[in-house]
Amino acid sequence: MKKLTCITVASILMGIAALPAAARGPVVNHAISEAEVLAAQQAWCKALVDISSTNTSSGPAAAKALAEKVIDEAYGYQMGAVLFKPTLAMAPQAFRTSREGALAYFVGGDPAYPKDTGFALKGWTKCEIANAGIFIAGGSASTMGNVIFTGKDGKVTSVDKTWSFVKDDAGKLRIVVHHSSLPYTGN
């Protein structure tokens, strides 16, 4: 960080407006911008497709390692818990507030979560986002809308998804709420 350049009587007489912006001291800005939110959504989509393609090209161990990295970088489990309701998780394990539960959902293979088959291993080739709304206030940002997945067979699946993000100390957005569900169809 640069040292502060303070005004002196001389600089006052010379006119404060003449001070270059750089002389006005550091700006720490941890506010959440809409652009950051949109980027975090895109990063989630890209990570899902990456895990799928890693599974295809390098096998499930590599996919699992990537999924762990993604969870540690994109979610807020290190804050204590995340409110995560994955699309296809079933009671009595519908809510995955622990990192272990999230990992099991994405890549399966955890005997503690016997119904999980690995959502991220299903061969997704595309992931797109259509927001119905964004709400940023008080240090957190939430989005709601559809996320549309394209499978290896070209089949399209649309889910209803809510995310809430907060910033960590490093200024990085982290998912602290994630509720995903299949659309209600009346049946």
Does position 61 interact with a second copy (CB under 8 A)? The reply is: no
To the nearest 10°, report the CA torsion of 152, 88, 182, 157.
0
DSSP 131-181: EEEEEEETTEEEEEEEEEEE-TTS-EEEEEEEEEEEE-TTS-EEEEEEEEE
Does position 5 interact with a second copy (CB under 8 A)? The reply is: yes
**C-alpha to C-alpha distance for 182 and 146, rounded to whole angstroms:** 10
State which residue, 57 or 154, has the beta carbon closest to a second copy. Answer: 154
Does position 17 interact with a second copy (CB under 8 A)? The reply is: yes
Q: List the one residue from 24, 46, 69, 152 that touches a second copy (CB under 8 A).
A: 24
Does position 108 interact with a second copy (CB under 8 A)? The reply is: no
**C-alpha to C-alpha distance for 112 and 93, rounded to whole angstroms:** 10
Does position 152 interact with a second copy (CB under 8 A)? The reply is: no
Q: Which stretch in 21-29, 42-50, 52-60, 62-70 sits in contact with a second copy by CB under 8 A?
A: 21-29
Does position 43 interact with a second copy (CB under 8 A)? The reply is: no
We find the least distance from the C-beta atom of residue 141 to a second copy, in angstroms, to be 8
